[in-house]
Structure 1
């Protein structure tokens, strides 16, 4: 015999199950199933990061990546093409070695900076010198002839190679505070001395080169174990190399103790002249509103200290996987779904700015842009980007995403527009609803952002898979929405510096000829 209250409970449970079954969206269910049971992320990551490697704008590897992406999309039945928007200095890394040859022999850890001039195949061997302490630019100018025929160390030697979190865990409070105070004083003195030279980080290598130095040796520590930021050289004829903290500090101490260390540097990079720059664009054509667009966005280029895995290999993988899934389970979207893999984001959002400038008809038809850039972590923040009614549609689309994904996402509405940072800013400046899918850190800023450690092994594929599911569902719901997204802009907050309301950013033109001056 069934008790009355038990029967009521059973009927209620059945009704909830029926309602839940009715509420389930078969496209959403198919997206989740395809992403979890047939993920291509690891394979794509291996092919891009391990096979092609870093994607510095203007290099052959950048063009290889564009061609690879086009071929991959076409293999999925998605039309794709490389769209040229400019030109850049073309350069390619070659064999690189850096060794201390006196007062003893030791191979060192470091790399040639991007676009650095090469050495001959025999390399260059020279003594190291460090910058002097000077009272003014005249004193520095008087010292400059001393660099002729020398390698010049231009970075401050760090007092510790241990990151602050390591000190916090193991040091006494007194010892930690003492270290920080001494480091701050050393930084202040170094910066003051640099000011006294009358030069800065860009002009100093040029002045040293003109004075006859045969190479520049720097070290840009990223405040983590064994990790350095890797950017570009400013010299025209002599090599510029970055040494990891430990080796740089050793050499600096040897110079200061009068032991006159010598390095042998071989850097066989190639100046290849000028190369075209591209965006890779792929699309799934809309069946009802083909002139309205949902755009998936990620920059394709990287710096080349590592292989560009989390900046922005993971964003690239998210967008490619989302497009692959959508083509398979949602092949006839209402609106056109585009993906843009932008070139030269790292030098100022150039690829996306060019696209916005060259395609006003697409920008005017944008339903939404979803951009992912800041690392391998799962998405935890989404802002309305300053669009007054963004809550109305973003929250509706997010409601279709599984709770285990959205429960970790903080939303801010209406938010404020970006003034840079990543490619969604290019679209926001033009008034198009564009949103950053902002990720959990995974020590991104210290360990992988523009560093020598941004490699495949740092990818967290579970988080990237979550992001691909999130992106695909948002694209699907944005495409299906009966309403066009509202572009009304919110009243922006007061600028604390001026006391006036902040203004919406204006579109900026890209640099279409890079590194050619």
Structure 2
């Protein structure tokens, strides 16, 4: 072979090698969707045979524990998540600082005991977040505050100091006739698959408040304002859901006149907010027992040891972000985001809400890295804070990098487009408990139906194949959808989420099902990878009027 032909052959081999390494070996388009089964099988092998998800879930819930926004535990969780991302080899790992949110709150000690002339029992109860505490245990009599007319305020004025105040009659006892845990059935999945605009709109809509409702809200406001003035030892109510020792809870509240928009109500975490009266929720069984003892004319004394720590050194919230960089020269600046909220309430350890979603996302990124993916677009992971206080962390991310809504954030009249708006492809969210993914909500974006249905085909044997036109709300994908960007939440098996664990002291590691979480991570990795490999960004449904930055 002469030197000229040898040079030509060497040049050809070198060029082919460069093309092979510089360009992805597999792509697809929205009009002709396919599945890279070799890659999906790699994801399944890595995610099922060598999963790290339960070890991460245990550390996050058992070691770090509950993660109230801006609490020391929340910051520790942010730092741990960043360490995990870096250990997987993710790049551009950082804490996206947003806010100011306000003060953090940490429960350092709590116990409650009930005593009468005939009996004693320890009380199952939890203080509401951002309740103030005491330097030592306090004791006082329990009273039931019944306000039906104006003169009742005059009767109770000056009589509540040093008292524990019950503010409502207990719920009627109920037995567990229905199973606490359940999976989706063929019938329930069929209803989701057949969802229409009429059904979806009916799920979201509601009647205007009537006069009776407005009167109840006014009475509740006047009572709350009265209690703020009288300053009893604590306000007592019962768990807002559940029996058998379950205590479902959120944060302490401050009085707000009826009609005050949700986003404008005062919050005790705000640095300039007034100090609320300590607020404690009791298990329904114990709340009911104390109430009935009062009805029998018995005096009930409570001793409460409530100690808390407020964190005011850092008023800013953090979202933890990491990336797998894109490799396509024309598309690498575009990006796909997978995410879940890392924050939780404080009674349990935030396992199903939402350590489950957080470790699914971390494991999905680990799977992608171990599979050696070379995505055309960048794949980002975002673990949010402030979700429980109103999707604040994810909203701040959107308004920092993607778009700023004008007018009502929940239904903006227009948006100002930022630099990332035209580089964004899609956001995928997990935050409906720890149940297995059974499909995905289209969020009324029918243009991706065929695409998503195709990507679910490998998981038919897992019972994961439902695509629902319907909207679903109340979690972080909503803030993307509101500004006209594709944001999606997966359909998940309910398990015990809304019957037992959600926002309750039962939300612990024991509520997690390993197989479900492993499969979820594989499915999320598959959606992230295939979205990143498309020729186009995901199509967008009609949204608010756009204006350039």
- In the alignment, the residues of structure 2 paired with residue 320 and residue 139 of structure 1 have an alpha-carbon distance, to the nearest angstrom, of 55
What is the CA distance between 1:89 and its match in structure 2?
A: 1.6
Tell me if structure 1 keeps the 8 A contact 2:128–2:279. Answer: yes
What residue number does 2:304 align with? 265
Gaps of 5+ in 1: 1-22, 168-190, 490-503, 508-517
Cα pair distance change 1:447/1:194, threshold 3 Å: farther
Aligned 8 A contact 1:300 1:341 in 2:
yes
1:403 to 2:460 alignment:
yes
Residue in 2 that maps onto 1:76: 88
Deviations 1:356-388 (A, max 9, x none): 110023343222211110011111241222224
Provide closer, same or farther for how the CA distance between residues 192 and 130 of structure 1 changes in structure 2, counting only shifts above 3 A: farther
**Which residue does the alignment assign to 1:177?**
none
Q: Who is 1:422 aligned against?
A: 475
Residue 171 of structure 2 aligns to a residue whose secondary structure is: coil
Residue 451 of structure 1 corresponds to which residue in structure 2?
Answer: 504
1:437 equivalent among 470, 485, 490: 490
TM-score normalised by structure 1 residue count: 0.80
> CA shift at 1:395, angstroms?
2.5
Tell me which residue corresponds to 2:320.
280
1:178 paired residue number = none
Which of 148, 160, 184 is residue 161 of structure 2 equivalent to? 148
User: Aligned match of 1:199 in 215, 219, 233?
Assistant: 219
Count of residues in Structure 1 that have an aligned counterpart in Structure 2: 441
Matched, 1:128 2:148: no
Indicate which of 364, 372, 378 corresponds to 1:322.
364
CA 1:133–1:239 in structure 2 vs 1: closer, same or farther (change >3 Å)?
closer
Could you say which residue in structure 1 is the equivalent of 2:279? 240
For 1:430 and 1:69, locate their aligned partners in 2 and report how far apart those are by CA, in whole Å: 28
Deviation, structure 1 residue 145: 3.1
Q: Does 1:215 align with 2:268?
A: no
In structure 2, distance between residues paired with 1:140 and 1:63: 43
Give the deviation of 1:124 after TM superposition. Answer: 1.1
Note the 1:353-372 alignment, pairs <5 A.
Answer: 353-360=395-402, 361-372=419-430
Residue 91 of structure 1 pairs with residue 105 of structure 2: yes
> Contact 1:363–1:430 at 8 Å: present in 2 too?
no
Alpha-carbon spacing, 1:194–1:427, altered in 2? closer, same or farther (3 Å): closer
2:148 paired with 1:118: no
Query: In structure 2, do the counterparts of structure 1 residues 330 and 446 end up closer, same or farther at CA, with 3 Å as the change threshold?
Result: same
Q: Which residue of structure 1 aligns with residue 40 of structure 2?
A: 28
Cα distance, 1:37 vs structure 2: 1.1
Q: Following TM superposition, by how much is the alpha carbon of 1:448 offset from its aligned partner in structure 2, in angstroms? A: 1.1
- The counterpart of 2:384, out of the listed 342, 347, 369, is 342
Give the C-alpha shift of residue 155 in structure 1. 3.1
Partner SS state of residue 85, structure 2? helix
CA contact (8 A) 1:94 1:270 kept: yes
Tell me, in whole angstroms, the C-alpha distance in 2 between the residues paired with 1:107 and 1:254: 15
Alpha-carbon separation, structure 1, partners of 2:216 and 2:530: 58
Which of structures 1 and 2 has the larger relative contact order (alpha carbons within 8 angstroms, sep 6+)? 2
> Secondary structure of 2:451's partner?
helix
Asked if 1:229 is matched to 2:286, the reply is no
Cα distance in 1 for residues equivalent to 2:142 and 2:174:
21
**Residue 495 of structure 2 aligns to a residue in which SS?**
coil
Q: Is the 8 Å Cα contact of residues 429 and 506 (structure 1) preserved in structure 2?
A: no
Given the two structures, how large is their TM-score scaled by the length of structure 2? Answer: 0.75
- Measured in 2, the distance between the counterparts of 1:370 and 1:440 equals 17
Query: Any idea what the Cα deviations from partners look like across 1:301-329, whole Å, max 9, x if unmatched?
Result: 11111111111111111101000110111
1:160 match: 173
SS state of the match for residue 382, structure 2? strand
Q: 1:37 to 1:351 in 2, by over 3 A?
A: same
